[in-house]
Structure 1
């Protein structure tokens, strides 16, 4: 009987600590196939961005975005793996580039009320960082606007812009 009670307590604790990101009010809208386009502008440069990606829940505590990103004509694969950190009540998003050549760790926060996802990665010394603020445009939840800002070591904006993601319609 004690073993049964301990097992039940463990099952309840496990189910409470796991967060099914596929059922999250924000991430459930990321499920599917998407195309994106936009540009990031800096003082002396403009990056033309195009993406094709799919979003899917993987397991109870992980959401994965996989696709390709074309920057000024150069196409590379990418993958985001997003997990929930219960202790910090925040999200971690790991961005992997082509063949593991690029790994960037972002900390994130989700507003289930406003349906927004905010990410920030510290990328060097000082105040250099990448910040991404994502929000759905319209009631259909089939357009995501990503506002991207890169900052330098003294906090100055070095690159910024908007990437607009459009969910592909199912036939």
Structure 2
């Protein structure tokens, strides 16, 4: 039997009278149920299991969450982050709200930027027909600092314009 709200003394007595040997509770229901009631159930030989995760599992991994938090720290809007990561804006907002406590340090932010820029350079190499732009993109993949990557991107933009 599963409970998502607290167990009253009357409900505990009914459970004890029945042949139920095990019940499950949500963490909130466990906190709200009086200690006296929990002790009573345990004395009657009823096993109490507190279930941690219920509902639909989260779909984003640690890497995506880190990208969201880093982009927000850099001042990007939820709309812009949504377009950049191709994730619905409501999902971005929900994950931001749930992970506000996470602070991403500057080294991690730079690492994310470099990694994303390298993905962009790979796409440029595959899709561009201009040899000079491809050569700059290859240099971009070899670059390891944000400053070098910005310099190379400016070079690519100058060839496009």
Band of TM-score, shorter chain: under 0.3
Bigger proportion of residues as strand: 1
- From the two aligned structures, give the one with the greater helix fraction: 2
- The answer to which structure, 1 or 2, has the higher relative contact order (CA under 8 A, 6+ apart) is 1
TM-score by length of 2: 0.26
